[in-house]
């Protein structure tokens, strides 16, 4: 191992599968120590990182729960002694109900906001005392290109991701004086037909409306995320980056 993140301790929420797993592996390849915080078992990803010669810890976490976030931060400090980066990637996404806005239930709306918005706030709250004591830290919130496109079919999800833009800008202002940065990064559709069969059809439209005419894959996000974890990004805060291959319409 060895690279631009040598010695950095990076928490990836929702790191047990999908795009979060790629963030965990990408950070580890650059020498970062990774905490895989997920409702799902993170041990397989930890084993992959250890096989690469890296260090990682799995912590079963429900980001919508305050005590669970506090336990995640405590376990990170116990094992690695510091917290340099929090990547808020966990979300109600694959499991989110899809359909016309007037058919969504209050329970569906509330669960999406509990995880996607409250969960981000609670995870930030949990890591804050350590980042504040260090006088440094980076928070990366994963939003979605759907909020820029106004994608239809899951209004609760798009509204929840939109909230992260404002949350991040305000938190960046609040935490800047302490040397803590907060940014959002929005991926475009990264299909996972095993989990979401409709992605295959949607992707044809998405690719057609994109400057770079190919399907987006999770690896396309990793360079941007790793950069935002490194010292090279120290003066970037309150920003909303979009990684979408030049999407110009839905
Ligand atoms: N895949 C895409 O097309 C796409 C596009 C734009 C944005 N995103 C965003 O990127 C992120 C990852 O997407 P993905 O495709 O890998 O999704 P995914 O559904 O495959 O993975 C989400 C992960 O979050 C975890 N999670 C869910 N609820 C949790 C909770 N309460 N506490 C802890 N962990 C929890 C899940 O267990 C899972 O490992 C999400 O924030 C998603 O909204 C995805």
Given a cut of 80, is residue 1 above it in pLDDT? no
The sign of the torsion formed by the CA atoms of 33, 218, 112, 117 equals: positive
Residue 23: active-site member: no
Q: Given this model, what pLDDT does residue 24 score?
A: 99
State how far the Cα of 166 lies from the Cα of 229, in Å rounded to an integer. 21
* 39-60 residue pLDDT tens: 999 999 999 999 999 999 999 9
The pLDDT value given to residue 237? 98
| Closest residue by CA, ligand 1 atom 12 | 19
User: Distance, CA 177 to ligand 1 centroid (Å)?
Assistant: 31
Ligand 1 midpoint to CA 184 (Å): 15
Given pLDDT bands bounded at 50, 70 and 90, which one contains residue 2?
low
pLDDT at residue 249 above 80? no
Is the model's pLDDT at 125 over the cut of 70? yes
Query: Are the C-beta atoms of 49 and 28 separated by less than 8 Å?
Result: yes
Cα-Cα-Cα-Cα dihedral sign, residues 75, 77, 81, 83:
positive
pLDDT at 32 over 80: yes
Burial bucket for residue 109 (CB in 10 Å: 0-12, 13-18, 19+)? middle
Q: What is the mean pLDDT of residues 231-247?
A: 98
pLDDT reported for residue 153: 96
Q: Per-residue confidence at 250, pLDDT binned at 50, 70, 90?
A: low
Please say whether the structural domain 9-241 has been given the CATH code 2.70.210.12. Answer: no
195 lines ligand 1 (CB under 6 A): yes
pLDDT above 80 (res 122): yes
pLDDT in tens, 155-190: 999 999 999 999 999 999 999 999 999 999 999 999
pLDDT digits (tens, 9 = 90+) for 188-200: 999 999 999 999 9
> How far is it, in rounded angstroms, from Cα 52 to Cα 138?
25
Active site residue: 23, 148, 157, 248, which one?
157
**Domain ranges for the chain:** 9-241
SS3 42: coil
Amino acid 211: pLDDT: 97
CB neighbour burial string for 179-214, b if at least 16 within 10 angstroms, e if fewer = ebbbbbbbbbbbbbeeebeebeeebeebbebbeeee
Mean pLDDT of the chain: 97
Q: Could you tell me if residue 122 is left (phi over 0), alpha (psi between -120 and 50 degrees) or otherwise beta?
A: alpha
* Plot region of 185 (φ>0 → left; ψ -120 to 50 → alpha; else → beta): beta
Tens-place pLDDT, residues 135-153: 999 999 999 999 999 999 9
Quote the pTM value. Answer: 0.98
89 lines ligand 1 (CB under 6 A): yes
């Amino acid at each position: 191992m060895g690279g631009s993140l040598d010695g950095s301790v990076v928490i990836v929420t929702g790191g047990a599968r999908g795009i979060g797993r790629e963030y965990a592996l990408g950070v580890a390849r650059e020498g970062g120590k990774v905490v895989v915080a997920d409702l799902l078992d993170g041990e397989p990803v930890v084993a992959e990182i250890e096989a690469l010669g890296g260090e990682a810890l799995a912590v079963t976490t429900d980001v919508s729960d305050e005590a669970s976030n506090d336990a995640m931060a405590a376990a990170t400090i116990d094992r690695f002694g510091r917290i340099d980066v929090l990547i808020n990637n966990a979300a109600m996404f694959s499991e989110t109900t899809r359909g016309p806005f007037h058919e969504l239930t209050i329970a569906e709306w509330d669960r999406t906001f509990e995880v996607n918005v409250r969960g981000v706030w609670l995870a930030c709250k949990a890591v804050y005392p350590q980042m504040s004591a260090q006088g440094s830290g980076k928070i990366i919130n994963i939003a979605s290109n759907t909020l820029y496109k106004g994608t239809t079919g899951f209004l609760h999800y798009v509204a929840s991701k939109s909230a992260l833009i404002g949350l991040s800008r305000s938190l960046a202002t609040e935490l800047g004086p302490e040397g803590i940065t907060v940014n959002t990064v929005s991926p475009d559709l990264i299909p996972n037909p095993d989990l979401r069969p409709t992605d295959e059809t949607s992707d044809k439209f998405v690719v057609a409306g994109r400057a770079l005419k190919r399907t987006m894959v999770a690896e396309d996000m990793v360079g941007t995320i790793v950069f935002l974890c490194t010292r090279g990004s120290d003066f970037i805060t309150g920003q909303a980056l979009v990684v979408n291959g030049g999407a110009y319409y839905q």
